[in-house]
Amino acid sequence: MPETTGCSPDWHLEHSRPALFLDYFNPRTSFAAQANTLATRFRDIQALCNEGENPPELTRLRNELAFHLVKMSRWWGFDFCPRGVTDVRNPLFMTYVKAHIEHSIEDESLFDLLTVQRHMHAGDAGHLLVLGQETGADPELSVLFGIDGQRGFRFAIGSTGLAPLWNGQTYPDFASMWLSARAVHALIADSHANVQEYESAHQEHIWARAWHRRHFHRHITRPAVDMYAQAMSQLDSCQSIFGRAEFETIVNRAAFHIARTAFDHNMTIADMIGTGGLRDMGLRHANTIKRRARTYITTCIDPIARPEMDILLDRVISYLPRRCT
């Protein structure tokens, strides 16, 4: 049975409401930080619920977090297996989700769209559920966000008083759609620099999507050093502010993966890198990798889980100086 982090039910009821750390409509908000915090809070509250009697509000919060794990997996396009991420059997986890949507029409509508589509024209790309609206510098021009009957994200740019015209292209996640909408909005505003920025960001986000999809994978056979090198190469290729921000986090997470693997195998970070045939690079950059791992813990790990991760990183050694014989 998972252990709690020591946070009380009252603490969670005050600090673990999804609205406090989830920002669905701003993809600039760190994906990793939101996903990690959401999973940690669910697991901690689930452990409290398993320990004994708790306020009914805590059970409702657990159910709400379960729903948001499903929603966020679709929003960002990451692989999600309830048992793999939360240690809760899939059928039981879905009872939590269904218990939540019984009390939220908006969440029930979205869940229905993503599953059985009883309320939609099932499979109809022309039938959309509107998710929200964004208004930029021009109050006369707004962007609508939606998901169609084929479960693709779509956007529409409309003027005041006119019916919105939905873009015909669909996108697999919200960020892809948001970036494309921004590019079209910049084109309408005749802002060439912004068009280039968002078009580059969209391409770079396509690279990032593959990393996001595997975010919760526990068993990764590819060497951690190889993943770090690939992420660094893609970061170096990024031209947009958005893309560089995404890949800074991806590189930091890859660095954390190296540090954690080194710790698990009782190795230094430098020797860990050396096993990949990159010993010279490892000796020069072992401290950089540890620093990036520390940044990942500081910025992307839930504060209630950081102490354990800090201890891990404190104990792993960057490198041991070689002595002359």
Q: What does the alpha-carbon distance between residue 200 and residue 220 come to, in Å, rounded to a whole number?
A: 29
What was the pLDDT predicted at 139?
66
Q: How confident is the model at residue 222 (pLDDT cuts 50, 70, 90)?
A: confident
For 83-128, the pLDDT digits (tens) are: 999 999 999 999 999 999 999 999 999 999 999 999 887 888 888 9
Mean pLDDT on 268-289:
74
Percentage of residues in the chain having pLDDT higher than 70: 93
User: φ and ψ at 37, to 5 degrees?
Assistant: -65, -40
Using an 8 Å Cβ cutoff, are 261 and 220 in contact?
no
Residue partners of 11: CB distance under 8 A and separation at least 6: none
Mean pLDDT on 21-37:
97
User: φ and ψ at 178, to 5 degrees?
Assistant: -60, -40
Q: Does residue 140 carry a pLDDT above 80?
A: no
Q: Does residue 281 carry a pLDDT above 80?
A: no
Q: Which position has the higher pLDDT, 40 or 185?
A: 40
Residue partners of 147: CB distance under 8 A and separation at least 6: 110, 113, 114, 128, 129, 131, 153, 154
Quick one: DSSP state of residue 171?
Answer: B
Q: How confident is the model at residue 1 (pLDDT cuts 50, 70, 90)?
A: very low
Q: At what angle do helices 56-76 and 174-188 cross, to 10 degrees?
A: 60
Token readout for 84 is 């793999």
Q: How confident is the model at residue 142 (pLDDT cuts 50, 70, 90)?
A: confident
Compute the half-sphere exposure of residue 20: CA atoms within 13 Å on the CB side of its CA.
12
What was the pLDDT predicted at 207?
98
User: φ and ψ at 324, to 5 degrees?
Assistant: -70, 145
Q: What does the alpha-carbon distance between residue 185 and residue 319 come to, in Å, rounded to a whole number?
A: 50
For 62-74, the pLDDT digits (tens) are: 999 999 999 999 9
Q: Does residue 28 sit in helix, strand or coil?
A: coil
CA of 193: how far to CAs of 100, 134, 181, in Å?
44, 21, 15
For 37-85, the pLDDT digits (tens) are: 999 999 999 999 998 888 999 999 999 999 999 999 999 999 999 999 9
Q: Which position has the higher pLDDT, 218 or 281?
A: 218
